[in-house]
Amino acid sequence: MRYDIAVIGAGVTGSMIARELAKYNLSVVVLEKENDVAMGSSKANSGIVHAGYDARPGTLKARLNVAGCAMMPKVASELGVPYRQNGSLVVAFCDEEMAAVQELYARGRLNGVEHLYVLGREQLFSLEPHLSPAAVGALYAPDAGIVCPYSLTIAAMGNAMDNGVELKRNFPVMSLADRGASFEISSPGETVEAAFVINAAGLYADRVAAMVGDGFFTIRPRRGEYYLFDRSIGNVVRQTVFQAPTAMGKGVLVTPTAHGNLLIGPTAEDIDDKEDKKTTAAGLEKMTLAAAKSVPGLPLNGVITAFTGLRAVGSTGDFIITQSPTHPRLIHAAAIESPGLASSPAIAAYVEAMLQGMGVLTHKRREFNPYRAPIPCPGKMGEDERYSLIAHDPAYGRIVCRCEEISEGEIRDAIRRNPPAADTDGVKRRVRAGMGRCQGGFCLPLVTELLSAELGIPMDQVTKRGPGSEILSGPVK
């Protein structure tokens, strides 16, 4: 099959780019090596829409972060994604750290961050009463926000697919070859052709680049370990609380999530293995101690899960969004580490502009629909609305996940709507069944059954996250 454009990688970068390209009269395919979208850095990060004071002035990071932060409210609302502009604080715990805060303030001004304030102790505590009494002041960025990173990715891809983009999963790109008029892209099972290629392969973007001889950058994973707490303590802080950078590093954050949980982390450890997503006792202990510097006394018995995310740190220090120097029909969108999530709408627009400059994007599709209605969420509805919904479709009245109050109707939607959930983790990320305090103890068997019925496969072929991760080993004797 020959496409106009192939996007390699269905993380937040690839998915947002795909959605942008769906506005044009082009055939677009997204190639993803995993069983679902958002399986790399996009599913395991802090979920922060940074305001843009952190990146070095003049860099792409600085420019796209400030632009992306401004675009996010509209994008999130079009895509029906949980987003909250909750503001962020960079907290100082001594006078020296206040100097670092002042520096960030100045940098933010240079980057064009419009609303930035340096707060004294009293103002800080009126915003966040549970901070450590050692806090002396902070940088306050009211435009910063929180967004659910995998919901954003899923919705962007879903919207792209609804507008005609094709998604191929379990398509690990093993070779990329320039055949002159088009590229040939092969996985072990299939080969597709595309006139233009966008490399949004995350941690593996350097390997994809190397397939055509581009060796001008490398990507190294930076591990970050997190704890996620139950929603019962999700309101300990309202803003995202960072720590002022010190000689010891950037510190860890304490933040509410877009779903109302509390998140602490991450550690920052440069490693070589691009798949090493294990959590460690030492890392989590260190991270917990560091978080206690901001908010002491967080109850560890409120932890519902731990996870590790890998940031795709590039060798140039900046985002690498550029045409390949040797193959101009290939665009790299690589090294999208923090603030990559915040920047993602602006990255997509930037790539769009590059392709326009190349004369690729000429005809807009009039029927493009930027909206994606979220899956109904009866647990969050008022009583009348919920009653009517169940009257209309009783499956929304059958609760499957009791912790998050998720109904069979929502799970069915997750399995049917673009991009369809194909495994239990995919259901969890789309509608939160299994995301609550019992972590799927009660609903996993029910979700497994629903997947089996909807996909028309036996129970023991249902997986957690694609081939090789089967939930069950087979029928009983």
Partner 1 sequence: MKRENRTIHVSLVVVGGGPAGLAAAIRCREQGIEDLLILERGPRLGGILRQCVHSGFGVHKFNEELTGPEYADRYIDRVRELGIPYRCDTMVTDISADHVVTCVSEEHGLTRIKAGAVILAMGCRERSRGAVRIPGTRPAGVYTAGTAQLFVNLKGYMPGKRVVVLGSGDIGLIMARRMRLEGAEVKAVLELMPYSGGLKRNIVQCLEDFDIPLLLSHTVTEIHGENRLTGVTIARVDENLRPIEETKEFIDCDTLLLSVGLIPENELARAAGVELDPVTGGAVVDEHRETSVGGIFSCGNVLHVHDLVDYVSEEAEIAGESAALYLKGELPRRQTVAARAGNGVRYVVPQRISGGGEELRLFFRPDQVCRGAMISVSSGGELLRVRNRRIVTPGEMESIVLKEEELRRVHGDITIEVGLKS
Q: Choose, by CB under 8 A, the member of 405, 418, 454, 461 that binds partner 1.
A: 405
Q: Is 188 in the site for partner 1 (CB under 8 A)?
A: no
**Secondary structure element (H or E) that encloses residue 7, with its range:** strand 2-8
> Could you tell me the sign of the dihedral formed by the alpha carbons of 377, 444, 442, 264, in that order?
negative
Nearer to partner 1, 339 or 436 (CB): 436
In the complex, minimum distance from the CB of residue 280 to partner 1, in angstroms, rounded to a whole number: 5
Residue ranges in 429-458 that form contacts with partner 1 under rule CB under 8 A: 437-442, 444-445, 449
**Amino acid letter, residue 76:** A
- In this chain, which stretch among 98-106, 351-359, 414-422, 465-473 interacts with partner 1, using CB under 8 A? 465-473
Nearer to partner 1, 98 or 444 (CB): 444
Q: Choose, by CB under 8 A, the member of 95, 122, 272, 275 that binds partner 1.
A: 275
Burial class (CB in 10 A: 0-12, 13-18, 19+), 438: middle
Angle, CA 217 vertex, CA 274 and CA 279 arms, to 5°: 20
Nearer to partner 1, 210 or 303 (CB): 303
The active-site residue, picked from 50, 115, 130, 259, is: 50
Nearer to partner 1, 279 or 322 (CB): 279
**Amino acid letter, residue 270:** D
327 is catalytic: no
Residue ranges in 365-394 that form contacts with partner 1 under rule CB under 8 A: 378-379, 383, 386-387, 390-391, 394
| Beta carbons of 97 and 103 less than 8 angstroms apart | no
Nearer to partner 1, 138 or 290 (CB): 290
Q: Choose, by CB under 8 A, the member of 102, 280, 322, 461 that binds partner 1.
A: 280
Q: Beta strand pairing status for 117-120 and 175-178?
A: unpaired
Closest CA to 83 of 91, 74, 92: 74
| Beta carbons of 443 and 402 less than 8 angstroms apart | yes
Q: Choose, by CB under 8 A, the member of 292, 304, 349, 455 that binds partner 1.
A: 304
Residue-wise burial string across 170-200, b where 16 or more C-beta atoms lie within 10 A, e elsewhere = bbebeebebeeebbebbbeeeebbbbbbbbb
CA 251 – CA 265 distance, rounded (Å): 9
In the complex, minimum distance from the CB of residue 203 to partner 1, in angstroms, rounded to a whole number: 15
Q: Choose, by CB under 8 A, the member of 279, 316, 322, 323 that binds partner 1.
A: 279
- In this chain, which stretch among 71-79, 340-348, 361-369, 398-406 interacts with partner 1, using CB under 8 A? 398-406
In the complex, minimum distance from the CB of residue 386 to partner 1, in angstroms, rounded to a whole number: 5
Nearer to partner 1, 301 or 362 (CB): 301
Q: Which residue has tokens 């910063």? A: 144
Q: Choose, by CB under 8 A, the member of 181, 300, 363, 373 that binds partner 1.
A: 300
| Beta carbons of 269 and 223 less than 8 angstroms apart | yes
Number of Cβ atoms within 10 Å of the Cβ of 390:
17
In the complex, minimum distance from the CB of residue 388 to partner 1, in angstroms, rounded to a whole number: 8
Strand extents, DSSP E, 78-218: 83-84, 88-92, 117-120, 137-141, 145-147, 166-168, 175-178, 183-186, 191-199
C-alpha atoms less than 13 angstroms from C-alpha of 369 in its C-beta half-sphere: 10
CA 428 – CA 426 distance, rounded (Å): 5
Site string for partner 1, 214-243 (x = CB under 8 A): --------------x---------------
Nearer to partner 1, 179 or 477 (CB): 477
Q: How many residues bind partner 1 (CB under 8 A)?
A: 57
Catalytic residue set: 50
Task: Report the interface residues with partner 1, using CB under 8 A.
Answer: 228, 275, 277-281, 283-284, 300-301, 303-307, 378-379, 383, 386-387, 390-391, 394-395, 397-399, 402, 405, 407, 437-442, 444-445, 449, 459-460, 463-477
